[in-house]
Homo-oligomer: A and B are copies of this chain.
Amino acid sequence: MIRTLALGAAALAAAPAFAQSSVSITGIADAAARQVSNTGLGSIKSLVSGSNSTSRLVFRGTEDLGGGLTASFHLEHGIALDTGLPTGGFWDRRSTVSVAHRNAGELRLGRDFVPSYTGWSRFDPFSYVGVAGSNNLVSATPNGPIRSAFGSNPNTTVRASNAVQYLLPSGLAGVEGGVLVAASEGGTAANGQHKTIGARIGWAGAGAVVSLATTTTENNLTSTGKFKDTAVGASYAFEFLRLSAAWRRFEQAGSEQTNTLLAFSVPLGVHEIKGSFVRAAFGGSVGATALDANGVDQVGLGYVYNLSKRSALYASYARLANDGAVASTIPGGPAGMAAGGTSTGFEAGIRHSF
């Protein structure tokens, strides 16, 4: 009953007829045991999914149309490996169709990352996930620009639906980037419908990466001002060390949140050691509530043992400390965190790419 997916004899014989066909199926299965402690609340043990890299299943393919022109698709599905449940909207990690030209760039339609996310996450050595991921400092709590602009509805800090993108071709001496426009479709934030405009420009070469991105969102909750999301980052790979720094500011009406990341990564053969410091600082006010005293610091340390290019064992530790009225936590701990409390997390897991 167990059988490798295989081409039948007829298909093999006919292979030339399919020379342009391809569906690539890849993905990641990643799970870890985690323990998170919150100030005064004890700790909770859990099994979690995707702490080194989000568990996913990807279908994609590219057709060579000749003359440098290609058509392609990309469908990406997130999986909670701990429970077997899909995450979010099934293909909401990415669902796009594209036409591209080698020299002219790519026209891409569908749901995808916003420019500011791309311009931030590549500098996070924890890939925006796990106990030490910088995602822990991007949420609708505490109150600030993100909650003002989106409430607890789906926001555009990571992805946008209904998007039309133009992306620069490769081969521009390391220059990369693109623009994104997403339609609000006359809809509401509650339905994930936001009018979004963004752009990113970067350069990668000689061990260095620099990136500048901005994304602006309007919806039925932003009558007091658009939501602006700006991300700047850079990294440099020394001989045995990669250093990165990134800065991201969320603004809406009179409130702002500024996230700063400093990180390193040291590859030593099959070993990798990495660490990051992320700070979220709030400013301005929402209504009559001043935000200046609010902030979050997170320190993360990680170790990865690469069993192969595709598989790894890993362990990470993080400590998240709140200032002011903030009660952020590393996910997975006891509920009821008090303002100004501290959350610490440790996890060890397996990541397998297929």
Q: Which of B5, B82, B107, B183 contacts A25 (CB 8 A)?
A: B5
- Give A81 to B94 CA distance when docked, in angstroms: 9
Given contacts A6-B11, A32-B109, contact A94 B84 (CB under 8 A): yes
A332 cross-chain contacts in B, Cβ below 8 A: 185
Q: Tell me the dominant secondary structure on chain A's binding face.
A: strand
Q: Does A293 contact B (CB under 8 A)?
A: no
Q: What is the count of identical protomers in the complex?
A: 3
Q: Known contacts A21-B5, A97-B29, A99-B350; is A85 also within 8 Å of B91 by CB?
A: yes
Cβ–Cβ < 8 Å partners of A32 in chain B: 109
Asked if A9 is an interface residue, CB under 8 A from chain B, the answer is: yes
Stretch at the interface among A72-80, A143-151, A260-268: A72-80
Q: Which residues of B contact A80 (CB under 8 A)?
A: 95
Contacts A83-B162, A183-B46 given; indicate if A24 touches B5 (C-beta within 8 A): yes
CA distance A353 to B287 in the complex (A): 51
Cβ-defined contact, B73 with A96, below 8 A = no
Find chain B residues with CB under 8 A from A47 CB.
109-110, 161-164, 182-183, 185
| Contact present for B111 and A84 (CB under 8 Å) | yes
Interface residue count for A (Cβ, 8 Å)? 92
The residue in chain B whose Cβ has the minimal distance to the Cβ of A186 is B44
Instruction: Annotate A157-195 by CB proximity to B: 1 below 8 A, 0 otherwise.
Output: 000011110000000000000000011011000001000
Which residues in window 22-45 of A have CB below 8 A to B?
Answer: 22-33, 44-45
Inter-chain contact B73/A95, CB cutoff 8 Å: no
A323 to chain B, nearest CB (A): 26
By a CB distance below 8 angstroms, the chain B residues around A98 are 350, 352
Instruction: Evaluate contact between A307 and B71: CB separation under 8 angstroms.
Output: yes
Residues of B within 8 Å of A20, CB to CB, are 8, 308, 310
Q: How far apart are A21's CB and chain B's nearest CB, in angstroms? A: 5
A16 within 8 A of B: yes
Is A241's CB within 8 Å of the partner chain B? no
Whether A220 is near chain B, meaning CB under 8 Å from some CB there, is no
Is the pair B308, A65 in contact by a Cβ cutoff of 8 Å? yes
- CB <8 Å contact, B334 and A186: yes
Give the contacting residue for A185; candidates B8, B18, B44; CB below 8 A: B44
Taken together as a complex, chains A and B put the C-alpha atoms of A353 and B97 apart, in Å, by 10
Cα(A80)–Cα(B351), bound, Å:
30
Interface residues in chain A, defined as those with a beta carbon under 8 Å from any beta carbon in chain B: 1-9, 11-12, 14-16, 18-33, 44-47, 49, 55, 57, 59, 61, 63, 65, 69, 71-73, 75, 79-86, 89-99, 107, 109-111, 161-164, 182-183, 185-186, 192, 307-308, 310-311, 313, 332, 334-335, 349-354
* 29 pairs from A and B in contact (CB 8 Å cutoff): A4-B22, A4-B24, A5-B21, A5-B25, A6-B11, A6-B18, A8-B18, A9-B16, A9-B19, A29-B75, A49-B110, A57-B59, A57-B75, A63-B308, A65-B311, A71-B308, A79-B95, A81-B111, A82-B95, A82-B109, A82-B111, A83-B92, A83-B111, A83-B162, A84-B91, A97-B352, A98-B350, A109-B350, A186-B334
